[in-house]
Structure 1
Amino acid sequence: MAIHTFSSRDFTRDVSAAKRAAAEGPVFITNRGQPAFALLKIDDYYHLTGQGEMSLLTVMEGIPGGVGIEFDPSCLDVHVQLRPTLFD
């Protein structure tokens, strides 16, 4: 696993290069020569945090809000009128 380092300035200039480097391993982004941030593939992040693969539903359930909001949609009364076919 390769570890790459980008200065904040280099990261800002070429985000695509940092993303390509992150495909090979973690990328450290430095600020004045000191590591300030780490860029990881999302799979690596999930592995590190022990979360495994997250589904969209799991992510959405984690978003705060919506508690106590009542939702009672009215039923639609839909009538479909079929057209005769050419063979009738």
Structure 2
Amino acid sequence: MATTSLTSRELNHDVGRAKKAAEAGPVVITDRGRPSHVLMTYGEFERLTGKRRNLVDALSMPGLSNFDFDPPRSIIATREVDLS
């Protein structure tokens, strides 16, 4: 994960560049040479804050289509019922 550093002036002049850099990793915004803010994607923010996803969101995450899932077949045994 790459960390990019931008001055607040650079951020104001080229927000698109900062947003693109945030896709690769956090962007540290400096004010008078000192770190003051961090720009990140909303997905990264959710991951860091531990926001819980619902099942549909979790199953629609990118990359899950490459995941092999082959659970063993359940065997359910029947039994005789005595109705006497």
Q: TM-score range by the shorter chain?
A: 0.5 to 0.7
- The alpha-carbon distance between structure 1 residues 51 and 8, as it changes in their structure 2 partners (threshold 3 A), is same
- Where in structure 2 are there 5+ consecutive unaligned residues? 55-84
Equivalent-residue separation in structure 2 for 1:13 and 1:45 (angstroms)? 24
Q: Name the structure 2 match of 1:39.
A: 39
Question: With structure 2 as the length reference, what TM-score do the two structures score?
Answer: 0.61
For residues 28-70 of structure 1, the C-alpha deviation after alignment (integer angstroms, 9 at most, x for no partner) is: 000001111100110100000001448xxxxxxxxxxxxxxxx
Q: Identity percentage over the alignment?
A: 41
Runs of 4+ in 1 over 6 A off after TM superposition: none
Q: Name the structure 1 match of 2:5.
A: 5
Question: With structure 1 as the length reference, what TM-score do the two structures score?
Answer: 0.58
RMSD: 1.4
- Where in structure 1 are there 5+ consecutive unaligned residues? 55-88
How many matched pairs?
54
| Larger helix share, 1 or 2 | 2
